[in-house]
Chain A
Amino acid sequence: VARCRGSRLAARFPRPRCAPGRQRRGAGRGAGAGARQPLGRRARVALQLRNFQAASLGGLRALGQVRKATVKDIPESGHKYYLQFSTEDYRTGENAGSCLATVLYPKKRSPPVVSIQCSHTKDQKEIQEEDNRLYQRIRHQTKPITGNNIPDSYGNIEPALEPVWALAVAGSSSIMWEKSTETLSYFLAQVKSVKQWIRKDDFVEFDYTVLLHEMPTQEIISCHMRLTWLPGHPLKVKHFCASESHGMEEASGAESGSAAGPSAEKGANF
Chain B
Amino acid sequence: MDPIPSHGSHPSIPSHPNPNPIPIHPIPSPIPSHPITSIHPIPIPPHPIPSHPIPSHPIPPNPNPNPQSHPIPSHPNPSHPIPSHPNPSHPIPSIPLPSHPIPSHPIHPIPSHPIPDPIIHPHIPSHPSHPIPWHPIPFDPIQFHGSHPIPSHPIFLPILELDHLKPQKSDFNLGLVDFWRHPASPGHPVDLRVPFPHLQAVKGFLEFHRFSYRIMIEDVQVREKESMRKSRRAKRSSRTFDFSSYHTLDEIYSWMDTLVEDHPSLVTKIQIGQSYENRPLYVLKFSTGGSARPAIWLDTGIHSREWITQATGVWTANKIAEEYGRDASVTAILDSMDIFLEIVTNPDGFAFTHSSNRLWRKTRSINAGSRCVGVDPNRNWDAGFGGESWAVCASSSSNPCSETYHGPHPHSEREVKAIVDFIRGHGGVKSVISIHSYSQMLLFPYGYRMTPPLSVVSLQNELAKKAVSDLAAVFGTKYTYGSIANTIYMAGGTTIDWAYDNGVKYSFSLELRDSGRYGFLLPSSQIVPTATETWPALLDIMVHVLEHPY
Residues of A within 8 A of B (CB): 1-5, 7-16, 18-20, 23, 25-28, 30-33, 36-40, 44, 62-73, 75, 81, 86, 88, 90-96, 98, 149, 151-160, 162, 187-190, 211, 213, 215-220, 245-247
Contacts and interface: CB of A to CB of B under 8 A. Distances in A.
B397 interface: yes
A47 B131 CA distance: 42
A180 to B, nearest CB: 13
Interface in B514-550: 515-526
A14 B35 CA distance: 10
A23 B397 contact: yes
Contact of A32 (B21, B40, B450, B521): B450
A149 B523 CA distance: 13
A213 B520 contact: yes
Contacts of B393: 2, 4, 16, 18-20, 27, 30-33
Closest 9 A/B residue pairs (Cβ): A28-B395, A31-B393, A155-B523, A95-B19, A216-B489, A218-B403, A26-B397, A33-B489, A33-B395
A3 B390 CA distance: 6
A148 B488 CA distance: 31
A190 B389 CA distance: 37
Contact of B98 (A9, A38, A40, A159): A159
Interface of B: 15, 17-22, 24-25, 27, 31, 33-37, 39-42, 44-45, 78, 94, 96-99, 168-174, 245-246, 307, 353-354, 358-359, 361, 372, 376, 387, 389-399, 401-404, 439, 450-451, 478, 480, 485-491, 515-526
Given A7-B451, A151-B521, A162-B172, A70 B41 contact: yes
B381 to A, nearest CB: 16
A247 B171 CA distance: 35
Contacts of B358: 149, 153, 190
27 contacts: A2-B392, A2-B393, A4-B393, A8-B33, A9-B450, A9-B486, A10-B450, A12-B31, A18-B392, A23-B397, A26-B397, A26-B399, A27-B394, A31-B393, A33-B394, A67-B25, A71-B40, A71-B42, A91-B170, A92-B170, A155-B521, A155-B524, A159-B99, A215-B489, A216-B395, A217-B402, A219-B402
Nearest to A81: B42
Contacts of A65: 21, 478
A231 B18 CA distance: 28
Contacts of A190: 358-359, 521
Contacts of A215: 489
Nearest to A160: B99
B399 A9 contact: no
Most chain-A Cβ atoms within 10 A of its Cβ — which of B245, B358, B403, B480? B403
A73 to B, nearest CB: 5
A23 B399 contact: yes
A184 to B, nearest CB: 11
A70 B404 contact: no
B41 A246 contact: no
A187 to B, nearest CB: 5
B358 to A, nearest CB: 5
B252 to A, nearest CB: 15
B489 A25 contact: no
Contacts of B396: 26-28
Please classify the interface of chain B as helix (H, G, I), strand (E, B), loop, or mixed, using the class held by over half of its residues: loop
A153 B172 CA distance: 16
Contact of B36 (A4, A14, A63, A94): A14
A127 B41 CA distance: 35
Contacts of A90: 517
B173 to A, nearest CB: 7
B17 A62 contact: no
B387 A20 contact: yes
Contacts of B451: 7-9
Nearest to B395: A28
Contact of A159 (B168, B173, B518): B173
Contacts of B520: 189, 213
Nearest to B96: A159
B404 A28 contact: yes
A218 B361 contact: yes
A155 B15 contact: no
A191 to B, nearest CB: 10
B404 A26 contact: yes
A132 to B, nearest CB: 15
A151 B489 contact: no
Contacts of B172: 91, 157, 159, 162
Contacts of B170: 91-93
Contacts of B173: 159
B81 to A, nearest CB: 12
Contacts of A12: 31, 33-34, 36, 40
B486 A36 contact: yes
Contacts of A151: 518, 521, 523
A88 B372 contact: no
Contacts of A37: 489
Given A4-B392, A7-B450, A28-B491, 17 more contacts: A2-B387, A9-B486, A13-B42, A27-B398, A28-B490, A33-B394, A33-B395, A33-B489, A68-B27, A69-B41, A93-B18, A95-B19, A154-B521, A156-B171, A189-B359, A211-B359, A218-B403
Contacts of A72: 39
Contact of B19 (A14, A38, A67, A93): A93
Given A10-B450, A11-B33, A12-B31, A5 B390 contact: yes
Contacts of A187: 516, 519
A9 B487 CA distance: 12
